Structures are given as structure tokens and as C-alpha cells.
Structure 1
Amino acid sequence: MLIAFNKPYGVLTQFTDQSMPPRPTLAGFGLPKDVYAAGRLDIDSEGLLLLSDDGARIAQISSPKFKWPKTYLVQVEGIADETHLAQLRAGVTLNDGPTQPATARLLEKAPDWLWPRDPPVRYRKSVPESWLELTIKEGRNRQVRRMCAAVGLPCLRLVRISVGPHRLDGLAPGQWRSEIG
């Protein structure tokens, strides 16, 4: 079984939380029993999370050696330009070493289908923002956020829209569906 889930902002990518007070987890969304996340998505990130009951499939999706592409919509602080995109496309050096090159493109604005974040991203009139679409084939801890910061574009919002051939395709935050493949 393979499940596509649109993880809302503020939800942990696990089924339990030992912190006090407990934070929202995957347990609150009626997902099938015995599925586990294939990879992770930080609590402050949103979007596509794949889950499965098949350990080999989970390993294939989440292991960097299989190089499954992951695509993100990224709202950044600042005006992104071709220099920033060229740096991301070449790969940037992070504190844990250089990244592989990314596919990066500038978007004119957020896509019309994108839901508002709850809570909203803090808006500041004096600070411009840009939207990028970024695809990576690694999956280091907070990698997209760190890559954007390394080129001078701090991340305000991060939404994963695809993992390999699987896409959000109309799933609202908190919704899930069974996938083929």
C-alpha cells in the first residue's frame, strides 16, 4: 500500500509525540494502520508525504542512493534573480558538505491552487519576497531551507509538491489518498 498525504504545517511526521504539551501528529488524520512515512517533512514544512506498509518501498523512496527527485515550492525573503538560481543549479556548500545540483526556476507568484498557510507567513511591506520551484535528489536535514539561506534567500514557506512520480494533485491539507505504484 502506498499513501499520498498532504501534511499540514505544524504536524509532526510521526504518529506519536512525547513532548508536553503534545504536538499534532499523523495519528490525527485517519490514515490506515501500519503505514510509516517514507522520508520526512519538517514540522514547519507542508505538502506531499508518502507513507507505506512496505519496508522495502519505504527504503527505496527515502534512500538517497535511489535519487528520487523531490520538488518544492519555496517562498523566500528577498528578490530572487538568475544569480541565485545559478548558484542553486550548481550546488551549494553547506556545513555538512556540497549539495548536488538542483533544478531551480523563479515563479512570478505563488500558484493559484496553493492554499493559504495556517498560521499565515508574517507579511512585511518593507521586505520583498519571491517564489521558487526547486527540485533536489538528496534529502538532507532541512536541505532546501539551508540551500536557500546559503544563497542569501531565507525560506519563509516550504511546500513539497512531488516525490518521484507522485504529486499532490489537488489534495487539500490533511487529506490523503491511495496511490498506484
Structure 2
Amino acid sequence: MTAVDNLWYMADEADQQAERTYHQLSGRYTTYLEYERSQIVSRSRFRTLAERIRENGLPYGAHTLVYQPSGELLLVRHEGVDKWVVPGGEVHSDESLMEGARRELREEAGIEVEYDGLAILARVSFHGDGHNTWGVLPVFEGRAETTDLEVCDPDDEISEARWFEDLPEDTRDRDELREWRRRRFSSS
């Protein structure tokens, strides 16, 4: 079997796992913001992402959108992408998606939350070297139980954690986070 066929097969398996994960989440939660993104990536990056997606449907892991009743949102500074992002990352094979999101939150910001459900369910498509696949980006929502922040990231990707009333211009998925906050706090 050629490398091209192997990559095609890997992408097909990734698609199937992404579909299972998407249906699991969309069947369990009823209210969430949904959006789609598409990225063109190199062949090697495509292979890495397809391998991740084959594991659990997630190219970038699970994340937590943490809020305070005042409407402030927690963001962490991810040096690898040079942006403010919601805390999150890889889900280990012995964890549920929410358990992985909770562990990543503790590592990246040092706080605990009371989870409310799913804030965002995104579909991210990847295109590279004639191949296509997609994965799911689940972002759980939770009210902060503690607010003192401490970064203890073992991967050294996160340099800072901070509460924001106004989201910085260099916030990844800024428009979607603002829309989630508008919906969340206009119905309260």
C-alpha cells in the first residue's frame, strides 16, 4: 500500500471517529453554539491531525469556557499560537472529554469550575495534499468556583491566565466567544 493510500485510509478512519464523537455530544447536549472552520495544512500536519482525530474525534482536545457571574471570561496565553485562547488540550485515553477539559483547566489556570454543559461544538475541516478530514472541537462551559489564577502547565505552552471583560483583539475565535457570552448573559 502506498503512502497516499495509507493517508487516505487514516483520514477515513478519522472521519468515522469524528462522526461518532459529534453525534455523542450533540445527542447529549441540546443548547450550544455551533460553527465550522476550514484549514489548509501541510501533508505532515494533516497526518498528525488525522492521527489525533482517529483516537477520539478531537484534533485539539477538549476545552472549557470559564465565566464569572459578572460576565468576565477566562483566557490563557498560548505561546505556540501567539494568541489568547480558552483553556484546554489533549484528552487522555482513560478520561472522558469533560475530565480531560477539567484537568487541562487545572494545569493551565489552576482553578475549579461547576460545569453547566456544552458552550460550543465546532466542526474543523482539514485539507492537505489532496486529502480531507474533519474533527470536533468541544468547548464545555463552567462557572468559576475559584478565581485566583495559577499557571502550572507541564507542556510550557501557556504563559499567562487572565480574566477579561473585553476580549483582546488577538483572541482565537473571538467572535464566537462574544456571541456565546451575549447569548449566555442576555437570557439571565
Instruction: Identify the TM-score tier after normalising by the shorter chain.
Output: under 0.3
Between the two structures, name the one with larger relative contact order (CA 8 Å, sep ≥ 6). 1
TM-score norm. by structure 2 comes to 0.24
**In proportion to residue count, which structure has more helix?**
2
